[in-house]
Structure 1
Amino acid sequence: MVSPTSPSTASIDPALARTLQRFAQLDANTPAPQLSYVQRRRLLSERQAQLVRTPLSSIRQNNYFVTAPGREISVRSYQKSSTEAPYTLVWLHGGGWMVGDLNTHDDLCERLAQHSGHTVLSVHYRRTPESPFPAALDDVLQVLQWLRTMQGLLPLEHDKVLLGGDSAGAHLALAAAVRQLQALPGDAGAARIAGLLLLYPPLLPDQDTESMRSFGSGYGLTPAAMQLYWQSLGKVQGKAAAWMQPGRCDAEIAQLPPTLVVTASHDILRDEAEAFALHAQALGAPVQLQRAPAMVHGFARLVAASPAARQQVENACTAWAELLRTAA
């Protein structure tokens, strides 16, 4: 168990340290030998979210199903009551492409709707290992096509949308933007991505960075878990291989819409995300970088447990709104 005053968590937000401790205790108190690793991680992710869940009465929720060949994609909208939202922000949840769902990110999506003023549409894309890459990315593009097709029929449909995600969801958001910029015939008819909000994205496998070495134990996400998540994506070739590592697609990165990259100070993914942001800036893309101090990986979905994490999400919404305004 991680103690809030142990050396590994002494420099992070105390509320986050206590939450990590509670999660460690939850893990220890959840014996489930009959479950596979994936099943157990999904169960714990759900229980962690239930442990800290604090609903906002000012946010209205609605559930929808996006039809796609051979499947339905569950989506959930979040909107301020009696408020007309300027945009729909399509949100892709984190969880290593393997865990996480609509319920695990209720708190974050409600706060995003509250602080950004946009309607937030959370997408439950297909997960690994059952559905290797690019299944999740295909689901994102399917939702973007649905948004444009349904204009005038639902209040959250727009010709242009914002796109964002946390962790693995941020990776998928960037991959979707790169894919859309390639203008593939099969992706025609999708709502255009007008801006990106990327919270601590994983961008490259097998990284050996200072942050990977410094925060590999005691801060939630570990290098071993990240390696397993990357492996679960599967092996792909052609364009799909480029989409799996979208940060290397320089031609498309240079054409990105206004993008805010947010990193956590105490996160193994910090350095690779910041290197990407600086590289994108060097290519001339309208990308801004913001590091959240005293934060760990996954802080955004813990806004109900940490006032400091909530403030960092508010700061990100404010900075991103200014970036979108100046780029308009």
Structure 2
Amino acid sequence: MSQGIEAADDLAPEIRQFHEAINSGYAAHPPQPGQTMADRRQVAERVRAPWAAGGPAMARTDELRVGPRGVRIRIHRPVLDRGLPSLLYIHGGGWMLFSLDTHDRLMREYAARAGIAVIGVDYSLSPEAKFPTALEEIVSVIDWLRQDGAGAGLDPSRIAIAGDSAGANMAVAANLLLRRQAKPLLDGMLLNYGAFDHAVTPSHQRYGGDGYMLNSAEMVVFWDAYLRGPADYEDPLAVPLRADLQGLPPAFLAIAGCDILADGNLSMAAALRAAGVPVVANLYEGASHSFLEAVSISPLADRALTESATWLARRLGRTCG
């Protein structure tokens, strides 16, 4: 997920620096003949690795396989208190790329700033695993947390969900699937520059070319890899902006101003409000898609993380760290 050689002038300076570093990283690993999906993912891991390093130290980190599907999870705990509330974090990457490792710092930032356990979900990627496989895996982790989380020292009654980009899509969809299964919904949704609809909007036209972190052509590929066929493009579990949103948990949306998905995020905030859902929607001017990953150098990313973590801590009954 990278674009032109230079970043656009309307980005904050540190976000522009982030873009240039990402672009340089991909330029050092140009596509090769016969490149496989596994090769693409390996390159993405290398390019993103410096941005996942550093940050808060955890009191404890565990990796487990849970539930009947054996989904791998990573649990970050900032303190060793028992009964910590939890945030399930669903990483982005167009349903095709990235991992618990690329988003490790982001998860630790939330754990430290909100004083909660953060559980990263290693869901199956597309195109090998099509919709709704990853979504069902996420809900299976929620089921495990509710049934067995106390045994892992977590509070099964205080659970929020978060994600960025494709992960934010699935964070909303997980609640929709829980509702369809007549299960209790979660306590909050933290949605970072989510991919909530595939419709082309003015923000696609404004930010969809070279110079920004995500372009319109990439999104077409991502949706096509994730969905099984034409019917899925209308399925509200795949396209949550088209769902009945009534009764969903309160939401915090971190919206990047210089992002092809900006309009879709503003529409999601409006649709949630129209459905009676409490919403905080913060628009970060000068921010691009993926800007939170630049927290090591970006005051804008730091502010967005602090604001969302403060909201999250209140939702889960914690004092911010």
User: How high is the TM-score relative to the length of structure 2?
Assistant: 0.89
1 or 2 for the larger relative contact order (CA 8 Å, sep ≥6)?
Answer: 2
User: 1:293 & 1:319 partners in 2: Cα distance?
Assistant: 20
2:189 maps to which of 178, 184, 196:
196
For 2:213, the equivalent position in structure 1 comes to 220
Change in Cα spacing, 1:55 to 1:260, as seen in structure 2 (3 Å) is: closer
1:234 maps to which of 206, 227, 239:
227
Q: What amino acid maps onto 2:120 in structure 1?
A: S
Partner of 2:256: helix, strand, or coil?
Answer: strand
Structural mapping, 1:176-195, within 5 Å: 176-184=174-182, 192-195=185-188
1:30-59 Cα distance to aligned partner (Å, 9 max, x none) = 145155363343123211222222142245
Q: CA deviation at 1:319?
A: 3.4
Residues 63, 75 of structure 1: 8 Å contact kept: yes
- 2:249 counterpart of 1:246: no
Structural mapping, 1:163-312, within 5 Å: 163-184=161-182, 192-205=185-198, 207-217=199-209, 218-235=211-228, 237=231, 241-250=235-244, 253-312=245-304
Let me know the Cα RMSD of the aligned residues: 2.3
1:315 maps to which of 300, 307, 312:
307
Q: CA deviation at 1:301?
A: 2.4
Change in Cα spacing, 1:305 to 1:60, as seen in structure 2 (3 Å) is: farther
Residues 147, 159 of structure 1: 8 Å contact kept: no
Residues 147, 156 of structure 2: 8 Å contact kept: no
- Could you tell which deviates more after superposition, 306-315 or 117-126? 306-315
1:170-190 Cα distance to aligned partner (Å, 9 max, x none) = 000100111112235xxx5xx
Partner of 2:87: helix, strand, or coil?
Answer: strand
User: 1:199 & 1:163 partners in 2: Cα distance?
Assistant: 11
- 2:1 counterpart of 1:2: no
User: 1:103 & 1:273 partners in 2: Cα distance?
Assistant: 26
Change in Cα spacing, 1:35 to 1:73, as seen in structure 2 (3 Å) is: farther
Partner of 1:163: helix, strand, or coil?
Answer: strand
Q: What amino acid maps onto 2:235 in structure 1?
A: A
Structural mapping, 1:6-155, within 5 Å: 8-34=7-33, 36=35, 38-52=37-51, 53-69=53-69, 72-83=70-81, 86-155=84-153
User: How high is the TM-score relative to the length of structure 1?
Assistant: 0.87
Q: What amino acid maps onto 1:216 in structure 2?
A: G
Change in Cα spacing, 1:62 to 1:18, as seen in structure 2 (3 Å) is: same
User: 1:14 & 1:85 partners in 2: Cα distance?
Assistant: 41
Change in Cα spacing, 1:165 to 1:324, as seen in structure 2 (3 Å) is: same
Partner of 2:65: helix, strand, or coil?
Answer: strand
Identical aligned residues as a percent: 27
Partner of 2:111: helix, strand, or coil?
Answer: helix
Q: What amino acid maps onto 1:2 in structure 2?
A: I
Q: CA deviation at 1:322?
A: 4.7
- Which residues of structure 2 form unaligned runs of 5+? none
- Could you tell which deviates more after superposition, 296-305 or 107-116? 296-305
Partner of 1:27: helix, strand, or coil?
Answer: helix
Q: CA deviation at 1:138?
A: 0.6
Partner of 1:145: helix, strand, or coil?
Answer: helix
User: 1:93 & 1:289 partners in 2: Cα distance?
Assistant: 20
1:201-222 Cα distance to aligned partner (Å, 9 max, x none) = 11111x2222111111211100
Residues 167, 202 of structure 1: 8 Å contact kept: yes
1:253-289 Cα distance to aligned partner (Å, 9 max, x none) = 1111111111101000010111111122122111221
Partner of 2:235: helix, strand, or coil?
Answer: helix
1:140-184 Cα distance to aligned partner (Å, 9 max, x none) = 011011112214311125134111111100000100111112235
User: 2:271 & 2:247 partners in 1: Cα distance?
Assistant: 13
> When the two structures are aligned, how many residues end up with a matched partner?
311
Residues 200, 269 of structure 1: 8 Å contact kept: yes
Residues 168, 192 of structure 2: 8 Å contact kept: yes
